[in-house]
Amino acid sequence: MLKKHLLTGVVTASLSILVSGCATNDLTNTKVDKPGFSSVSYADIANDAKTVNDVVSYGLGQKGQRYSPMTQINKDTVKDLVPVWNFSFGGEKQRGQEAQALVKDGVMYVTASYSRIYAIDTITGDEIWQYDARLPSAILPCCDVINRGAALYKDLVIFGTLDAKLVALDRKTGKVRWKKKIANYKDGYSYTAAPLIVNDLLITGNSGGEFGVVGQLDARDPLTGKIVWTRPMVEGHMGYKNGVENGITGKTNASWPGDLWKHGGAAPWNGVTYDPDTNLIFVPTGNPSPWNSHERPGDNLYSASRVAINPDTGKIVWHYQTTPNDGWDYDGISELVAFEYTDEKTGKMVKAGATADKNGFFYVLDRTNGKYIRSTPFVEKITWAKGIDANGRPIVNEENRPGNPNGEAKGKSVFSIPSFLGGKNWNPMAFSPKTGLFYVPANEWGMDIWNKPVNYKKGAAYLGAGFTIKPTFDDHIGALKAVDPKTGKIKWVYKNNAPLWGGVLTTAGGLVFTGTPEGKLLALDDETGKVLYSFQTGSGIVSSPITWEQNGEQYVSVTSGWGGAVPLWGGEVAKTVKYLNQGGTVHTFKLHK
């Protein structure tokens, strides 16, 4: 049965009725084809960044640039953007909504809190089907009951659940086609990322770094869920391909003392990007376990890193570690985005990759081999490091490392910038080939942090640290920044009172879309940062906007629903935003005619 949804904002319309294979668009009174379910080929996924009539991958393309070549909605016309339908996830499960939606053949596939997924008619906003995972009561998610999205392949839509399972559903009916376990949730594992299809393989990671799990990337047959290869992200563990040993990750005890590598963290909990030019999967990895770095001297590979894996072999090709022997929970889980630029000295084109790390530095690497090119701070007043040396290794300020407890209840507390929630966290940035700029959703905050004694127990929290987050400045925490990757210089900054926790979208129309916890969907000028459009959605936006074309019109859609890690872990910051309302609504817009 179709759900009914109320329109809000400046446009009011009645619900459409499906008639004779067509639906009526109430804004234009024209007939459009009803939703379809044609097969999503790998060619569709590989070309996603270039096509405009669908969104079939997380990141609007495997490279994760989140750039659309569409221009109908632009600097001049965006003022005429109006809501055309809203869709409520319903119920009482109105927690953080961090998902990026997918669109194919007039159907939107969007995940929601508590491991739910919906198929929605993109013209009418009517529900086609809904699937709710049956979650056990003892799940152990770190940072809210969120989900960041799904993957489309052939006639399937595939997403992960908080109890560390993968579910493949029939795109037309929502019926389960297969279900597989990633890991045992009772041991602290979970899953929140959007899967990515690479070379006809389903690529997924795992979550649970705060519980001493072993981070691992898996490649599966997307039609059956059968494992093809696995690659652990902690040095010393064995990889497998087709059930046969496929080489140890790194070298046992090379960068981990004793047996700590057996529960070393490094979970790839934020998904991956892929570069077809080099045929490499770029895997961002999480914090080492425990947080107390004095317990694990050494670099603790491959935690807090970007790891490049060949999808055909399941083996590591190169790695770059942003925070060796991490003592501040500076996961390296920010996405590595492939892009090109021309070197002004040599005139040659550089195949690069950029990432804005939790540790506060923006890095540019040679994506073919992982070599360091440059880095620059993208947040202010960084304390944990004095800079980055010529080899790309941080010059750590050891006085700003939390102290060793040495048998006491707690070690020396230090005030570190940025906070463990990061200069940038999971929320994806965008790159515009038109301007050559990255648009980074940054946050200006620090933390009091101290270490505590801790012992590993399977399925229990494994931190060994305490913390309190505080704003760096009085007038803002969130700061959307336009960063020039060729110089590291920041071209403009949009300051926001509350932390920015949603993703970014940029377009050839000269716009940068993002949302705020205060509930505003914003469109900014990509060259100046001037706000050109603002719409209040009623709850905080911590998701990633998308855009597509249908029946000759450009649409923009974003999910609203405050939550995620900030209200759970934010300390003093969380208190300042406790007034924000939770929610769970998809908002879809187009130009008013």
Q: Which residues form the catalytic set?
A: 329
Q: What three-state secondary structure class fits 78?
A: helix
Backbone angles phi, psi at 370, to 5 degrees: 80, 10
416 touches 400 (CB < 8 A): yes
Q: What three-state secondary structure class fits 203?
A: strand
Cis peptide preceding 284, ω within 30 of 0: no
65 touches 49 (CB < 8 A): yes
Q: What is the dihedral sign for C-alpha 69, 70, 76, 78?
A: negative
Q: What share of the chain is helix, strand, coil (3-state, %, to 5)?
A: 5, 40, 55
**Residues whose CB falls within 8 Å of the CB of residue 19, separated by 6 or more in sequence, listed in order:** none
Say how far residue 472 (Cα) sits from the centre of its chain.
Answer: 24
Cα separation, 407 vs 387, whole angstroms = 32
| Start-to-end C-alpha separation, the chain | 31
Q: Which residues of 102-131 are buried (b: 16+ CB within 10 A; e: fewer)?
A: bbbbbbbbbbbbbbbbbbbbbbbbbbbbeb
Q: What three-state secondary structure class fits 182?
A: coil
Cα separation, 189 vs 142, whole angstroms = 10
